[in-house]
Structure 1
Amino acid sequence: MLVTVLSSPYLPRAARSGVLVMVLAVGLSAFSVGCGDGRGSRTDSESAEPLGVDKEVTVPIPAVTTTMVSPGDEPRSPLRPMYTPGTAQQVTLQTSHHIEQQINDQPGHDFSTPSLTIPMTAQTRSDSIDLTLGSVTTPDPVLAEALTGVGGSHAGFDLGDLGAITALRMEPHPDTSNTARSALEQAFYQAVYRSIAFPDEPVGEGATWTVRQDVSGGVALDQVTTATLTKREGDRLTIELKVRQTPKSSTWDLPNNAGTLDIQDYSMDGNGTITVDLGLPLPVSGSITVGGHQSYRDPHSASVLQQTIETQVSWTE
């Protein structure tokens, strides 16, 4: 985490408000996606060092717990990935992340990160998926220029028996800029925490199960995804998703030991639909949008921070 602004509970009220603006400007984006990796937030600064600098880096993903709510109609059968090693799939991942924040009655600020479109070729191994990236695009001209060298970069997911992602692997092309590396890292974290795992029990159409997962970061979150199998045609599944995130503590630890904020209000929910083919490693289509509003209070002043957030992850073949 690259944050150089320090905070003190003894700062005057006006000065502390300015500190909050600067700290949050560099620390907000990775936290608000709900995709922290325990390493802290990151910025798009060229001096930052995202994952996978000149080597492959593997980051463990917190384990998931699946719980059956309703097994659905007969006939029922277990849902398991059925692809063989060497199965290839071409798919495009699209991510967007919008965030606005306001401190007290000051003008609001937009800290949104540019959307990304990431075409990739997936190839399966016995317990993992290897990804080779194509030409990554974005509507932001500065980031678009930084992304010109990422084609051919590698990434990957390690998988559990029920399809849960257990680790994220990142290996950008050696000449990829840190700005581009950071953008790719954030996009893949969004995808990881919007993925789904199957239940252990046999299910049929109409089945509902929950997937619980810890999401680490400045605020530790309990994320519960409710999945409903609305349609099955052979190995092709249509699954509706509902997501809810709940803080596991009452405070947000600011980056770089800059203090804490009390959580006054936290609402983060989402929904979407994905189509999965059990014979292919990645979703063939669908999207999920998660958004909400949060309010935080500085316990050492009258400063109140409000955020409005929305993220979207989409898959297309």
Structure 2
Amino acid sequence: MLLVLAVTLTAFGVGCSDRTETTAEADGTEPAGINKEVTMPIEAVTTTVVDPGAEPRSPLRRTLEPGISQQVTLSTDHHIEQQINQQALRDISPPAITIPITAQSGNDGVELTLGNVTSPDPTLAKALLPADGSHVGFDVSDLGAITALKLAPAPATSDSGRAALEQAFYQAVYQSIAFPNEAVGVGAVWTVRQQVSGSVPLEQVTTCTLTARDGNQLAIQLNVVQTPKSTVWHLPNEAGQLEIVDYLMHGTGTIAVDLGLPLPVSGSVQVGGNQTYRDPRSSVTLRQTLRTEVQWGA
């Protein structure tokens, strides 16, 4: 059971979605998702204005005409340390990756073309070489919320490369910004409430503060809190269940947004904390310390 705990919790800590792909390794056929676009629905958001801010106030809306292009770089770094009972603390962090992106606005969302994806880990860096030219799509609501994530890695991309890209964009999507429906001014505060899909469903509440505005240029401060929606985690593949003893995840960040461009211009959000799980059948306890950083830049 110790191994099951370590493996399943590691997979959960990486932050993968509930999307599954049928594999056919037993008969040697190609997995169903390989070389095909995979769409992951993203949970809806609810925005609530806490303080409308100073006058003058106006709605925050992206003014995207089809064909608008933007170049930006996405970097993600996910750090995980875990300890089973009194065993030695282990660092099981996946490698960081950096993704150059050319984004183009469309009628229903944003289409991304990936450049040369890199990682400080030599093995992953090699696995990501064929990902150059891969495509990613975001379906976006009128308020800027991402409603679906579409991944179409280049055909030669390996399973490990595909998994790293999926993890990076999944993290980026859940640290993105949705705007309130009401008109707001500088100093405005609003909350974005969203369920984060995963093996343990989480409720994420992001408090956004509009700290500055110059025309289409916005500076937004973020405060993120995640809490589990259950006291029990049902492990994948009917492997049992774990009690959630404690779960504390909190983060902060700042994002620069140009309402005339499809993606953030710059900024970073870091979310981290501690989690403790217990197997009720064996009293095995597993503790994890996690930190995830999503960064946008030139």
Give the TM-score taking structure 1 as reference length.
Answer: 0.88
CA distance in 2, matches of 1:239, 1:291: 20
Paired position in structure 2 for 1:293: 274
**Aligned match for 1:157, one of 138, 141, 147:** 138
Q: Distance in 2 between matches of 1:296 and 1:159?
A: 35
Q: Take 1:124 and 1:52, find their aligned partners in 2: how far apart are those partners?
A: 26
The CA RMSD measured in Å over matched residues stands at 1.7
Deviations 1:273-296 (A, max 9, x none): 000000000000000000000111
- Aligned to 1:90, which of 62, 71, 77? 71
Equivalent residue number for residue 268 of structure 1: 249
Which whole-Å deviations, capped at 9, do the CAs of 1:117-168 have from their partners, x for residues lacking one? 0001000002210000000000000101111111011111000010000000
Task: Give me the identity figure in percent.
Answer: 64
| Contact 2:242-2:277 within 8 A present in 1 as well | yes
Distance in 2 of aligned mates of 1:174 and 1:263: 39
* Residue in structure 1 matched with residue 171 of structure 2 by the alignment: 190
Per the alignment, in what secondary structure is the counterpart of residue 182 of structure 1?
Answer: helix
The answer for the alignment partner of 1:28 in structure 2 is 9
How far apart in 1 are the matches of 2:76 and 2:249?
17
Shift of 1:109: 1.7
Residue 58 (str. 1) matches residue 39 (str. 2): yes
- Aligned-pair distance for 1:50? 8.8
Q: 1:259 aligns with which of 240, 246, 255?
A: 240
Name 2:222's counterpart in structure 1: 241
Cα shift at 1:232: 0.3
Structure 2 contact 15–167 (Cα < 8 Å) conserved: no
> How many angstroms does 1:36 deviate by?
2.4
Asked whether 1:219 is paired with 2:200, we answer yes
Question: Are the aligned partners of 2:77 and 2:96 in contact in 1 as well (CA < 8 Å)?
Answer: yes
Question: For the structure 1 residues 27 and 202, does the alpha-carbon distance in structure 2 shift closer, same or farther, using more than 3 Å as the test?
Answer: same
Structure 1 residue ranges (4+ consecutive) displaced by more than 4 angstroms after TM superposition: 49-52
1:179 alignment partner, SS class: helix
Say whether the 8 Å CA contact 2:203–2:229 is kept in structure 1: yes
Confirm or deny: 8 A CA contact 2:143 2:178 kept in the other structure. yes
Partner Cα separation in structure 2 for residue 141 and residue 34 of structure 1: 22
The aligned amino acid for 1:151 is: D
Superposed CA offset, 1:245-299 (max 9, x none):
0110001112221111111111000000000000000000000000000111111
Whole-Å separation in 2 of the counterparts to 1:312 and 1:33: 12
Please state whether the residue corresponding to 1:114 is helix, strand or coil: coil
Cα deviation for residue 170 of structure 1 reads: 0.3
1:224–1:245 CA contact under 8 A, matched in 2: yes
Give ranges in structure 1 of 5+ residues lacking alignment: 1-18, 41-46
Cα distance 1:301–1:29, how it changes in 2: closer, same or farther (>3 A)? closer
Q: Could you say if the C-alpha distance between residues 103 and 55 of structure 1 is closer, same or farther in structure 2, counting changes exceeding 3 Å?
A: same
In structure 1, the residue matched to 2:106 is 125
Q: 2:291 maps to which residue?
A: 310
- SS where residue 263 of structure 1 aligns? strand
Q: 1:233 to 1:67 in 2, by over 3 A?
A: same
Deviation at 1:26, TM superposition (A): 3.2
Shift of 1:24: 3.7
2 CA distance for matches of 1:193 and 1:35?
A: 11
Q: Which amino acid aligns with 1:132?
A: T
TM-score (norm 2): 0.94
Q: Write the distance in 2 (CA, Å) between the matches of 1:174 and 1:189.
A: 20
Question: Any conservation in 2 of the 1:52–1:170 contact (CA below 8 Å)?
Answer: no
Counterparts in 2 of 1:35 and 1:236: CA distance versus 1, 3 Å: farther
Assess if the C-alpha contact under 8 Å between 2:5 and 2:286 holds in 1.
no
Structure 2 residue 77 is matched with structure 1 residue 77 = no
